[in-house]
């Protein structure tokens, strides 16, 4: 006896069967974990023409499926599934929208599902009143028939039946299992079309991989499905902390318009200093001994501007971020330790950069990094090097997520009297074909 029997009542049993008897669900059926029967409604008509539909009373467009063949077909499958916990479901655009929670409930509470597929203008209302336990919709749109919806329900239910997938871990943690979307997935090769697999997945540190994946689930859900993120209830203390942290990131401005980038000019200095002060305070709060003295000061920005190396990002008419990108070599980068730069690459150097507080977490930093790439390419350089304080975790994360790789350690000279140890990062910009 299979764990789950599904009878699909349809006018197109061959089409539905051909799909469901393929792949994982097909193999599960062969193993006996599930039993799927696609039953032809037309075989249960009581008229000579095997007619299943007729004109609607009151007039109107199209035909309506008659109640009698549906009921006879249903009685046939119910007799065959005698003793099972059955549920009769009519697939309908008027039903409750189908979710993973519905799939879980159906597997938990029943071992026999009857999926009734309507066609034409739908089915005689009296059949629904008389025989149907529940109406399920695939979404707020109208299909030609219930077959696609029935296949979706059957597939998603079957993969939750014990013995269908190799391990329950296959579906626990997938999108919608606990209200979140799944983390991003990667497979070989490590670099494809210039895009690298995130470093954390290559190091074999399972704890770090798990932590990264959980965080990605929160971020993805927040970004792709804010409705799900808002209604998510975190479980334990750690989850609550992570939830609040990721939620905070959206607390700032939401970017809906165009972000521009241009070379900075003298009149931008007050806005740049304002951002520097916010960054300085933020670093202090995080106990990062970077930008805690006079650096970066007016003379640095004037120097950058004179050489056309300082850029500002503009959003809604205001300066939202700045960065300095130089084609000149950085003397302190020659003495890299515990690693090395990529050999034979001429590089641009990303120096001073920061995002205004109100735009943190809005995606502005990621946009800034894309403008950095663009400017480097405009300079004829495909390699960008930079450094950041070893405790400046947000910057390190931004760099990694923007395609930079850790290359080693170095000491900077610009902040005497402070912690001058820095981590070196490098990005080779891959050109799109
Ligand atoms: C063209 S539809 C009939 C729609 C119906 N006249 C109405 O407006 O509610 C034909 C059949 O497709 C199926 N169907 C259409 N949209 C669906 C949806 N969103 N979810 C599930 N089944 C759907 C139902 O079985 C329905 O009987």
The residues pairing with 117 across neighbouring beta strands, listed in sequence order, are: 91
pLDDT tens digits, one per residue of 378-432: 999 999 999 999 999 999 999 998 999 999 999 998 888 899 999 999 999 987 6
More confidently predicted of 244 and 112: 112
Show the tokens assigned to 173: 């943690």
- Give the per-residue pLDDT at 110: 97
My answer on whether 295 and 393 are in the same domain is yes
User: What six digits make up the tokens of 35?
Assistant: 């039993």
Are 114 and 9 in the same domain?
yes
Q: How far apart are CA 224 and CA 236, in angstroms?
A: 24
pLDDT of residue 416: 87
Kindly state if the Cβ of 138 falls inside 6 Å of ligand 1. Answer: yes
pLDDT in tens, 125-166: 999 999 999 999 999 999 999 999 999 999 999 999 998 998
Nearest CA, atom 22, ligand 1: 92
Q: Indicate whether 32 and 141 sit together in one domain.
A: yes
User: Residue 413's Cα: distance from chain center in Å?
Assistant: 41
Q: State whether 81 and 125 are in the same domain.
A: yes
CATH of the domain at 210: 1.10.1270.20
CA of 135 to the centre of ligand 1 (A): 11
- Residue nearest to ligand 1 atom 18, measured at CA: 93
Residues 309, 202 within the same domain: no
Q: Is the pLDDT of residue 2 over 80?
A: no
Verify whether ligand 1 is closer than 6 Å to residue 114 (CB atom): no
Q: Is 146 in the pocket of ligand 1 (CB under 6 A)?
A: yes
What atom of ligand 1 comes closest to residue 117's alpha carbon? 25
Which tokens sit at 289?
Answer: 């001994």
**What single-letter DSSP state applies at residue 165?**
S
**Whether 231 and 339 share a structural domain:** no
Are 8 and 119 a contacting pair, CB within 8 Å?
A: no
Q: Token pair for residue 342?
A: 């990529």
Whether the pLDDT of residue 267 is over 80: the answer is yes
Distance 82 CA to ligand 1 centre (A): 29
Residue 310 lies in a domain: yes
Residue 186 lies in a domain: no
Mean pLDDT value of segment 181-194: 87
Would 182 be classed as within a structural domain?
Answer: no
Cβ distance 329 to 349 under 8 Å? Answer: yes
Tell me: pLDDT of 316 over 60: yes
Q: Are 242 and 210 in contact (CB under 8 A)?
A: no
**Tokens at 321, concatenated:** 């971020």
- CA 132, CA 129: separation in Å to the nearest integer? 6
Is residue 102, in this structure, part of any structural domain at all? yes
User: Does 81 map to a domain?
Assistant: yes
| Domain termination site, one of 249, 273, 289 | 249
Question: Looking at residue 71, which CATH number applies to its domain?
Answer: 3.40.1280.10
Do 208 and 342 fall into the same domain? no
Q: What is the pLDDT of residue 341?
A: 96
User: Is residue 131 situated within a structural domain?
Assistant: yes
- Higher confidence at residue 199 or residue 308? 308
Q: What does the alpha-carbon distance between residue 333 and residue 426 come to, in Å, rounded to a whole number? A: 11
Among 89, 94, 122, 150, residue to substitute to test ligand 1 (most atoms within 8 Å of Cβ):
122
* Residue appearing with tokens 């499958």: 77
User: Residue 419 maps to which CATH number?
Assistant: 3.40.630.30
Q: Which two tokens stand for residue 405?
A: 């790789």
Q: Are residues 290 and 331 in the same domain?
A: yes
On whether residue 181 sits in a domain, the answer given is: no
> Ligand 1 centre and the CA of 145: distance in Å?
6
pTM of this prediction? 0.66
CB-ligand 1 contact for 143 (6 Å cutoff): yes
Is the same domain home to 157 and 282? no
CB of 93 within 6 A of ligand 1: the answer is: yes
Task: Identify whether residues 242 and 264 lie together within a single domain.
Answer: no
Mean pLDDT of 15-24: 92
Say which range, 134-143, 191-200, 230-239, 259-268, has the weakest mean pLDDT: 191-200
Q: Do residues 240 and 350 share a domain?
A: no
pLDDT digits (tens, 9 = 90+) for 237-263: 999 999 988 876 644 454 556 789 999
pLDDT of residue 252: 43
Q: What confidence score (pLDDT) does residue 248 get? A: 66
**62 domain residue, yes or no:** yes
H or E element at residue 3: none
Residues 276 and 382 in one domain: yes
Query: Residue 376 is part of which domain span?
Result: 259-428
| Domain's final residue, options 170, 199, 221 | 170
Instruction: Determine whether the shortest distance from the Cβ of 175 to ligand 1 is under 6 A.
Output: no
> What is the Cα–Cα distance from 274 to 276, expressed in whole angstroms?
5
Domain count, the chain: 3
Q: What is the mean pLDDT of the chain?
A: 92
Q: Of all atoms in ligand 1, which is nearest to the CA of residue 149?
A: 21
**Cα end-to-end distance, the chain, whole Å:** 55
CB 276 within 8 A of CB 296: yes
């Amino acid at each position: 006896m299979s764990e789950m029997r599904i009878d699909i009542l349809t006018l197109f049993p061959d089409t539905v069967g051909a799909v469901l008897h393929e792949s994982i669900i097909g193999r599960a059926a062969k193993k006996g974990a599930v039993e799927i029967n696609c039953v032809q409604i037309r075989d249960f008509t009581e008229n000579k023409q095997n007619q299943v539909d007729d004109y609607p009373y009151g007039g109107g467009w199209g035909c309506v499926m008659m109640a009698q063949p549906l009921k006879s077909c249903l009685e046939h499958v119910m007799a065959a599934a005698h003793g099972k916990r059955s549920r009769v479901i009519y697939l309908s655009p008027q039903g409750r929208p189908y979710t993973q929670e519905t799939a879980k409930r159906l597997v938990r509470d029943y071992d026999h599902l009857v999926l009734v597929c309507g066609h034409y203008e739908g089915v005689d209302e009296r059949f629904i009143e008389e025989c149907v336990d529940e109406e399920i919709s695939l979404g707020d749109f109208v299909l030609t028939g219930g077959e696609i919806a029935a296949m979706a329900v059957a597939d998603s239910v079957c993969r939750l039946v014990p013995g269908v997938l190799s391990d329950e871990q296959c579906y626990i943690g997938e999108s919608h299992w606990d209200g979140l979307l799944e983390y991003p997935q990667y497979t070989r090769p490590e670099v494809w079309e210039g895009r690298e697999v995130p470093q954390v997945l290559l190091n074999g540190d399972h704890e770090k991989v798990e932590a990264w994946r959980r965080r990605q689930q929160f971020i993805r859900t927040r970004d792709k499905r804010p409705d799900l993120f808002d209604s998510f209830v975190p479980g334990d203390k750690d989850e609550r902390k992570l939830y609040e942290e990721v939620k905070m990131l959206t607390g700032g401005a939401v970017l809906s318009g165009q972000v521009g980038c241009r070379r900075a000019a003298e009149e931008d200095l007050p806005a740049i200093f304002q951002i520097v002060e916010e960054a300085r305070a933020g670093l202090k709060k995080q106990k990062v001994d970077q930008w805690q003295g006079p650096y970066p000061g007016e003379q640095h920005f004037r120097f950058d501007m004179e050489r056309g190396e300082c850029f500002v990002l503009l959003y809604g008419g205001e300066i939202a971020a700045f960065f300095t990108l130089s084609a000149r070599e950085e003397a302190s980068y020659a003495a890299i330790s515990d690693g090395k730069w990529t050999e034979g690459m001429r590089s641009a150097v990303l120096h001073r950069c920061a995002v205004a507080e109100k735009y943190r977490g809005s995606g502005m930093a990621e946009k800034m990094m894309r403008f950095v790439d663009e400017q480097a390419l405009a300079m004829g350089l495909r390699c960008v090097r930079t450094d950041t304080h070893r405790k400046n975790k947000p910057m390190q994360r931004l760099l990694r997520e923007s395609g930079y790789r850790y290359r080693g350690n170095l000491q900077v000279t610009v902040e005497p009297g402070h912690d001058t140890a820095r981590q070196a990062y490098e990005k080779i910009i891959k050109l799109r074909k």
